[in-house]
């Protein structure tokens, strides 16, 4: 048998057996699962880069949703953050590439660069969600 040591979708062992194959597997601990999800995300993103299509985007989203569940982050919270960032900073629809900027106009947070934005109080009042709202 070939050794894989990789995270697979839940039904893969049954599919292998149904097709006459054999496999060995285990259920990951929470710590192992978190690490394996990170590796799976990298794998799925690479596949998306190589073959940009709906199926590969779905695979990336499946892994992102699994990471969110593991971390206790609701999809409503993700949608809330997505909307706040789109309203305050915009989306990725125009293809804008930032070539240069003065440091005063940027805030650095780890590996992210954030453009300084104004008050988002109106967004928070107007946006309704069934989640717990924004958490920082």
The per-residue pLDDT string of the chain (136 residues; one tens digit each, 9 = 90 and over) reads 999 999 999 999 999 999 999 999 999 999 999 999 999 999 999 999 999 999 999 999 999 999 999 999 999 999 999 999 999 999 999 999 999 998 765 565 555 665 554 443 444 433 333 344 434 3
Burial class (CB in 10 A: 0-12, 13-18, 19+), 64: middle
Distance of CA 78 to the CA centre of its chain: 9
pTM for the model stands at 0.71
β-sheet bridge partners, residue 113: 108
* CA 45/CA 64 separation, integer angstroms: 11
């Amino acid at each position: 048998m070939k050794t894989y040591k990789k995270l697979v979708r839940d039904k893969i062992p049954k599919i292998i057996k149904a097709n006459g194959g054999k496999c060995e597997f285990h259920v990951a601990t929470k710590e192992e699962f978190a690490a394996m999800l990170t590796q799976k995300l990298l794998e799925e993103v690479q596949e998306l880069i190589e073959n940009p299509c709906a199926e590969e985007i779905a695979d990336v989203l499946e892994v992102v949703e699994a990471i969110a569940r593991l971390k206790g982050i609701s999809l409503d919270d993700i949608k809330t953050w997505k909307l706040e960032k789109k309203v305050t900073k915009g989306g990725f629809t125009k293809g804008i590439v930032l070539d240069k900027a003065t440091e005063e106009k940027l805030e650095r947070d780890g590996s992210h660069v954030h453009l300084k934005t104004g008050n988002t109080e109106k967004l928070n009042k107007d946006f309704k969600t069934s989640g717990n709202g924004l958490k920082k």
